[in-house]
A and B are shown apart, each in its own frame.
Chain A
């Protein structure tokens, strides 16, 4: 099932990620499953990147140009060889949701609980909004 993901941050005008395509194995029954699958997907991608050997040891002109648009041109090499623990990463993501660090919307509707039943459809837009801790001390 193909869905789109956007990540926004409260207080920032520009989206952190805009409509990134994501292919899910099936339709996850609840938010907990959906978050787990997305984290799993990201962890696998990250760990594979750590494994990946260099085929081209230089950047093509096109790559340089594309990366320059993002503000950083790099070989995209991971200097930290440590792999991410999938279970731990899922726990962290779930904990962060429970703490209210981010909120999830499907289309225009907020999913407020981890166990809430989802009726995800092909081509739905998932929006994650990150919040910031209010750190000022009180009087």
Chain B
């Protein structure tokens, strides 16, 4: 509990008082980050291989006293949550340290750290939640923090648009998630994960279509959050945010929340739902890899690569190997965060070097065609990049090898257990993705670090100072993360993930009767085969890229914007534009929606407004008539009365007019009256 509160308190303090704190409160954010990391590490040591802890209390109650619906809230600490906790707090701590140097001098420095605190708190609440409702709240909060951080430089129009896009697309997935939650509640009257798991082990298979739909609903949330195939378009645009944010949220933690959700709800998925999950994951892995092939933006390449790796994880889930998928989640978090932070260092260095140039405004700092030869200038960064590169490509001795191998052999065994050859497409496409990953990563490596620096500029100006290539605060996190992509942190035998502490022992998801894993363990052949094949493919990808980009045809001094923005080859352009998914959505959804909006507006204007105008006119005419009546009759009557009394008064006044002759007249009239009365009476 305290763990959850620490980053949140940091968020509140920084958000409201950040500017007044010394050095704008970065030390506070880092301190709270450190405290949460230490706390979660303590929790980890207590929980790991121990008994899961479960604290819960009643959250709120609904309904009458006779039949109340109690909603509980609580914390579920099992091995999975403990590992994820350490992962999230560790990476977020490193990234806060990195950000101190990266964001230095930014206008909204303290607000940035406040948002990071909010994000960490939300992420921890997802991990700790013991029921789906609480998890959903954390889920939404995470999305909100992501929205804030993508649009952090909201003065840039692209950033503001990207944040909106990410938020809206996530909403789309959340609708499905919400529907799934409703369905689950309708069936089992509880959101509690432990109770749900218990009910599922005792459920009857008659309602399985319904369950498939529920599972797909839950998976929709994952599609949105983890940027799976039809909805992955927001993630590349999310790169408009600050680079450490991309590392933390859009590579390591938040996008993995979808995979975490799948793992948490794994028992609820029917075989049909799992098949669809596997297909979507495979498609994502392939499409992400293809889209990354010809990108020029250093961050966009990594973003597409993230999509591809997330596809891998989801494929692992779908093919009945959630442990492998979680294992890949963890290894991927480390090396992808490292890669993004390295991209941050490179971009930062480019900024520093370019600011001295007169034409620096036009030069894209993130275009890999403007870089080159950075291995001599930034040697430590280069070595860190090589480590993370080994991880993501899946070379032996690196963590990515272990986790990818686990997923692929799982998928292979899954396909073998089916009786249809078509199922082998899924591991096959997985292998193709390995090849693609190796290709585009090598391409990036060659463009950024090899060859010669391609701008008319002394590359030495890119260094932070003469002694240091970059700020120490930036180098330490990068080196730490890059080292963690070595296999030896996860397994003693670098060729067998099952020999490690994390994977293979049924540690992460003990509630599953993991038949498949046992099958893999027994069938050693598949394992060796996949390991061999994926290594070969990775090496082939590297070699292919090496031969294609070894002699870069780009000229020194020529700015990247001088080249055409898109590849000329139509197939390459097709992948570059991400299969025109954005355009498709614009054409298929946004335009019709706008058109619908316009039609409705037209209907409103003409019909509704017309009707209103008609009634308005009637009312106005009626009012005019009444007004006329008022003026003529009522006012006339009142005026008549007034006039009458006025003239009476005037008459009375005239009696006392002071004119001598009238006095005579009155006297005479009076006299005549007297005479008349005498005569008559």
Chain A complexes with chain B: no
